[in-house]
Amino acid sequence: MEPLPCPSVLASLIGLPPQLMLLLTLGGIFYLFRRDFRQKPNVTKAIWIPIVWLFIIASRPISAWFQILGLPVVMAGSVEEGSPVDAACFFTLNCAFFSILFPSGFLVGFPSYVL
């Protein structure tokens, strides 16, 4: 099975450098989010939690970003244990997730509906 073409192939087909293509894509996404928030201003800010989560999962772990930026990172004893920085980041995202879903009653109602 042949792998899917990478974004640099698409950029070369269009004739743009990959960095410019990335900036255009991110700019388009930002424009769409901004337009949507202007049309529906009562949208909750909680929508950013899954966006941040997706960004972290789709890119590098937080500890890798810290290393790239030259910040000191405490590493675990082994690879299986993971990084304490990444664990703290995901714990914070989980707390934000549960703080939004508990007051709405979703976490109480949904399991009873499924069962």
**Mean residue pLDDT across the chain:** 76
pLDDT at residue 45 is higher than 60: yes
Q: Please give the structure tokens belonging to residue 30.
A: 């930002």
pLDDT at residue 42 is higher than 60: yes
pLDDT at 19: 80
Domain ranges of the chain: 1-43, 44-115
Closest CA to 56 of 65, 46, 47: 65
